[in-house]
Copies of this chain bind each other. A is one copy, B any other.
C-alpha cells in the first residue's frame, strides 16, 4: 500500500498501472476556468478551495445569495447551469439529491443544453448510482464526459481541503479530475466505472450505520450489566468487536474526547443525512434484489429517530435514543 498515499494529498488507486503520458488538453491547460454549481454548505468551501488554488471559478446556484461570498473572492457568477456550460470545460456539481442533479444536468436550463464537446462533468453529490449512470449516458450523447465523485468528510473537511473523493468514471479521464480533487481533498479513491463512486460511498455509510447502532446497543447492554463503559470500549477495541464506531467515534459520553458524544451530539454527521444515505442504500439494494437485513433495520431506526427529535443531532446519538431514560 506504500505507493497509494502520497503525503497528505494522497491518491489511492487499485492495482492499475496506467500510463498518463497522453494527458488531455483539459488537464494540460491548468488554471482554465472551472464551473461550480451548487454552493451550499459543502459546495461553497469546495469552490473556495479551487479559487485559492488559482482556478478561475464560474459559479451558479438556485439561490444567488449563496454566490455572494464566492463572488467577493473573485468568482464569476452566472444565472444557470447552461450559462456555466458555455464558459467552462470542467464543471463540478454539489447538490442535495437525485432530482436536483437531474434538473441541473438535463433540465431546460441544464448543463447539457449548452455543454461543449469534451467537457468534463464531475458530480460530487451523494445520489443513487443509477442516476449517475443515466447522467453519464446523457452526457455522452452530447459528447461530454461524466464522473461521479461523492465525498466523505463533512463541512469541516470541505473547508480544510481534507475531503475523501470516491470516484467513478472512465479511468483515462481520471487525471483531469484528480487535479481538481487534490485542491479540495486529502484522499482520492478511484473506484471503477461510472456510479461506482456512489456505490462505494453508500456501502461504506451503510456499514458505518450498522456499526454505530451495534456499538450503541452493545455499550448500553454492557453498562446495564455493570461494566465500566471505558473498560468495555477497551475490551471491544482489542477484540473482534472492534469497529470505527467503537474505537474512533464512540457514541457513549465520557468514553472519548473530541467526538460528538462528548459534546451532546452536536456537530458531526447528522441523523438526517445518515437517514438519506441509508434510503439511497436501501433503494439500490431493493433495485438489485440484494438482501440487507441489518442495513434495512438501521435505515428504519434512523428514520424513526428523525421524527423523534434526533434529526439534527450527530448520528451517534442513537446511543441516547436506545438507552433507558426513565425509571421503570
Measuring CB to CB, which residues of chain A are less than 8 angstroms from any residue of chain B?
12, 14-15, 129, 152, 164, 166, 187, 189, 191-193, 195-196, 199-200, 202-208, 210-211, 213-215, 217-222, 224-228, 230-232, 234-236, 238-246, 248-249, 272, 275, 279, 281-301, 303-304, 306-309, 311, 321-326, 328
Q: What number of copies of this chain does the assembly contain? A: 4
Query: Is B235 a contact partner of A204 (Cβ separation < 8 A)?
Result: yes
The CA of A301 and the CA of B296, in the complex, are separated in Å by 11
Query: Is B307 a contact partner of A224 (Cβ separation < 8 A)?
Result: no
Query: Which residues does chain B contribute within 8 Å of A164, judged by CB atoms?
Result: 239
Query: Which residues does chain B contribute within 8 Å of A166, judged by CB atoms?
Result: 235
Selected from B15, B200, B202, B282, the residue in CB contact (under 8 A) with A286 is: B282
The secondary structure that dominates the A interface is helix
Query: Is B296 a contact partner of A297 (Cβ separation < 8 A)?
Result: yes
Query: Is A218 a contact partner of B200 (Cβ separation < 8 A)?
Result: no
Q: Taking A152-B239, A211-B211, A294-B210 as contacts, is the C-beta distance between A289 and B328 under 8 angstroms?
A: yes
26 A–B contact pairs at CB < 8 A? A14-B231, A164-B239, A193-B226, A196-B226, A200-B222, A200-B235, A202-B225, A203-B236, A206-B221, A207-B215, A207-B236, A208-B239, A211-B211, A211-B214, A213-B293, A217-B290, A218-B292, A220-B290, A221-B285, A224-B288, A282-B286, A286-B299, A291-B300, A293-B297, A293-B301, A294-B297
Give the Cβ gap from A55 to chain B, nearest Cβ, in Å. 27
Query: Which residues does chain B contribute within 8 Å of A240, judged by CB atoms?
Result: 152, 204-205, 208, 244-245, 248-249
Query: Which residues does chain B contribute within 8 Å of A245, judged by CB atoms?
Result: 240
Query: Which residues does chain B contribute within 8 Å of A207, judged by CB atoms?
Result: 214-215, 218, 236, 241, 243, 246
Give the Cβ gap from A268 to chain B, nearest Cβ, in Å. 11
The CA of A224 and the CA of B294, in the complex, are separated in Å by 17
Query: Is B307 a contact partner of A325 (Cβ separation < 8 A)?
Result: yes
Q: Taking A207-B215, A235-B166, A303-B289 as contacts, is the C-beta distance between A225 and B243 under 8 angstroms?
A: no
The CA of A198 and the CA of B298, in the complex, are separated in Å by 27
Give the Cβ gap from A129 to chain B, nearest Cβ, in Å. 6
Give the Cβ gap from A240 to chain B, nearest Cβ, in Å. 5
Give the Cβ gap from A95 to chain B, nearest Cβ, in Å. 18
Query: Is B211 a contact partner of A225 (Cβ separation < 8 A)?
Result: no
Query: Is B225 a contact partner of A196 (Cβ separation < 8 A)?
Result: yes
Q: Which of A15, A232, A309 has the most CB of B within 10 A?
A: A232
Other A-B pairs beyond A205-B240, A206-B221, A272-B328, 19, CB < 8 Å: A14-B234, A15-B230, A189-B235, A195-B226, A199-B225, A199-B227, A200-B222, A203-B232, A204-B241, A208-B239, A208-B240, A217-B291, A217-B293, A218-B295, A220-B291, A221-B281, A239-B244, A243-B243, A296-B297
